[in-house]
Amino acid sequence: MDDKIKELKRIIDESSKIVFFGGAGVSTESGIPDFRSETGLYNAKKEFGRSPEQIISNSFFMSHTDIFYDYYKKNMIYQAAKPNKAHLALAKLEEQGKLLGVVTQNIDGLHQMAGNKKVFELHGSVLRNFCMRCGTSFTLDEIMEMDGVPKCDCGGTIKPDVVLYEEMLDDATISGAVKAIQAADTMIVGGTSLVVYPAAGLIRYFRGKNLILINKSATQYDSQATLVINDSIGEVLGKAVL
């Protein structure tokens, strides 16, 4: 493994336009569980009688907003979570002028907390919330302090700025991510098994020199990669960058 990390460090040192694409595995190392895991699936079905995909769909939000928020606050919000070594390493690469951007499937805002400014949040962010009637913005803290279904002063229901199942990804976010990926000489993919589409399909836009895959398990793109490291994304990037 040490040889692979040395190779990764060499590639990073020789690269000037890096893009990072990350999934749930980046956040799990900060103590945020993947709701698609066996435990997450079991807990959702045991308490709510439904799968996570059902509960966090747009139609369920609209028809069972109270149950949605009960699940959402218990299973999707982790206010005490802090950036881990992966987040800090990526912030350092951006500070060095090597990182074009972070493309993330996560909604926790930890990349920005670590210091990254160029972040394409494919699935939105729990930190942003808005009234569906008047458009007023609310912070996560404000939402968490409200009992039941969060309501605006105007009487409108407040909705998290996250992409729910059945909803389309934001066009501007996708365009920005694609542009960064196309311009990159090195793409580092970490903490994702690359099975969630359309997000995982973005890897097809990469035309650069080095495709690095860092994930605890194998992915369908391993055979196309310059370097594959099956280990913790935080430990790997921490050793290669920090």
Q: Are 111 and 89 in contact (CB under 8 A)?
A: no
Strand ranges across the sheet with 137-138:
137-138, 124-131, 158-162
Domain layout of the chain by residue ranges: 2-32+82-123+168-241, 38-78+131-162
Structure tokens at 167: 């909803």
User: Of the CATH numbers 3.50.50.60, 3.40.50.1220, 3.30.43.10, 3.40.50.150, which one belongs to the domain with range 2-32+82-123+168-241?
Assistant: 3.40.50.1220
Is 123 part of the annotated catalytic residue set? yes
Task: Report pTM.
Answer: 0.95
Q: Cα 73 to the chain's mean position, in Å?
A: 18
Residuewise pLDDT in 10s, the chain (242 residues): 589 999 999 999 999 999 999 999 999 999 999 877 777 778 889 999 999 999 999 999 999 999 999 999 999 999 999 999 999 999 999 999 999 999 999 999 999 999 999 999 999 999 999 999 999 999 999 999 999 999 999 999 999 999 999 999 999 999 999 999 999 999 999 999 888 787 789 999 999 999 999 999 999 999 999 999 999 999 999 999 98
Going from the C-alpha of 124 to that of each of 35, 79, 109, 134, 189, the distances in angstroms are 16, 16, 9, 20, 19
Active-site residue among 64, 87, 111, 123? 123
